[in-house]
Amino acid sequence: MTPTPAPGRRTPLARLRGPATFLALLAAALLLLPHLLEPFRLNLLTQYLCYSIVALGIALAWGRGGMLTLGHGVYFGLGAYAMAIHLTLAATAADPLTRGRLPQFMAWSGRTELPWFWQALTHPAAAVTAALLLPAALATLLGWSVFRQRVRGAYFALLNQALAAAFVILLIGQQHLTGGSNGLTDFPVFAGHSLYTPTAQTTLYTLTVLTLAATYLLLRHLTHSRYGRLLIAIRDGEDRVRYLGYDPTWAKTLAYALSATAAGAAGALFVPVMGIISPTLIGVVPSIMMVLAVAIGGRDSLAGAAAGALIMNTAQTTFSETFTGGWTYLQGALFVVVIALAPHGLAGLAHTARAALRRPRTPAPAQETATAGSTP
């Protein structure tokens, strides 16, 4: 029998090379791209990188932990709305016409007082905290209560989807509190700084890249810990794990909550970059698109998932502008093709390609490389 290295477990050299290359590339991109890209493209790229952060979280929960989360738009949305509410308040305060009064949409719908959760988000630090903690808290609550009862697999996926549907209906229905289906838009300032300057755009870009890198490193550390192996074990045999003396509930809840927090952070970054947040960006379909990006990139690979989000969103912008209908067909076909033919996504294809390229060069190496490859 030929022992083969486990995916995500490579030679010590490759282990170092993987993140080192990734970080070097990121650093180069961080320094160079703002100078190379025109502001419009830089803005788009920043948006895509926000989705890459979401993808990292989904790769942890789904790829490692087997929890198919069809409702990550909710967590992205909680982060985004926390930030958008704060930015709307900042805009209202800065605008000489509305200074000290309610945002226009609220005044139009007949409200005379700011709702309590708006007031709570007046301070920028409160907004950032809420963008991270609200998704974490909701995911912990939902995750703990269903995982504890061993609700999993398809049931869990469908519950997530139902949550996304309910959340969007709530946002649309509570027009006087949330801006309804128009959402919230027009964010000129954050913490006293204008968001419309090129410097602001570069800063947002840098922040997004840093958040992406930090998320990647944290999750990468986790996937290499015993906890990471425990997640894989839970994915492949949750009941069996119980007979190893572990309680899967906390392990799953943690992965799910972390992935929700990543989505919240991404949402908070997305809002000042995009300049708008509305229910159409976070509903059932956007949520499942976030999962599609991970499937395309490769659910087993963090870097693959992040790249998948970047690639899919770039393609979306490129194609949907020219032929809208055609892009939907293509997206639908992508689901089928990726799941049917490349379940490990682009990362899996890259892995296979690399293995195929390496083989002819060294004769009879299968045993050797494999053994060396699996040295811990």
Contact positions with other proteins (CB under 8 A) in 47-76? 66, 68, 70
Give the binding-site size for other proteins (rule: CB under 8 A).
79
In 3D space, the residue among 124, 147, 111 whose CA is nearest the CA of residue 235 turns out to be 147
Considering the rule CB under 8 A, would residue 319 count as an interface residue with other proteins?
Answer: no
Considering the rule CB under 8 A, would residue 154 count as an interface residue with other proteins?
Answer: yes
Min CB(19)–other proteins separation in Å: 12
In 3D space, the residue among 283, 337, 48 whose CA is nearest the CA of residue 172 turns out to be 283
Considering the rule CB under 8 A, would residue 214 count as an interface residue with other proteins?
Answer: no
Alpha helices in the chain (DSSP H): 12-36, 39-58, 72-94, 104-108, 116-119, 124-147, 153-173, 175-178, 198-224, 226-242, 248-274, 284-297, 302-322, 324-341, 345-361, 366-373
Give the C-alpha separation, 56 to 305, whole Å: 6
**Segment near other proteins (CB under 8 A), from 51-59, 90-98, 165-173, 200-208?**
165-173
| Structural contact between residues 115 and 212, judged by C-beta atoms closer than 8 angstroms | no
CA 111 to mean position of chain CA atoms: 35
**Segment near other proteins (CB under 8 A), from 91-99, 118-126, 161-169, 202-210?**
161-169
Residues 345-374 that bind other proteins (CB under 8 A): 371, 374
Considering the rule CB under 8 A, would residue 165 count as an interface residue with other proteins?
Answer: yes
Closest to other proteins by CB, 87 vs 338, is: 338
| DSSP helix/strand/coil, 162 | helix
Closest to other proteins by CB, 100 vs 325, is: 325
Min CB(188)–other proteins separation in Å: 30
Binding-site member from 328, 352, 362, 367 for other proteins (CB under 8 A): 328
**Segment near other proteins (CB under 8 A), from 39-47, 102-110, 219-227, 263-271?**
219-227
Closest to other proteins by CB, 25 vs 337, is: 337
CA distances from 126 to 133, 212, 297, 301, 374 (A): 10, 21, 34, 33, 46
Residues 171-200 that bind other proteins (CB under 8 A): 172-174
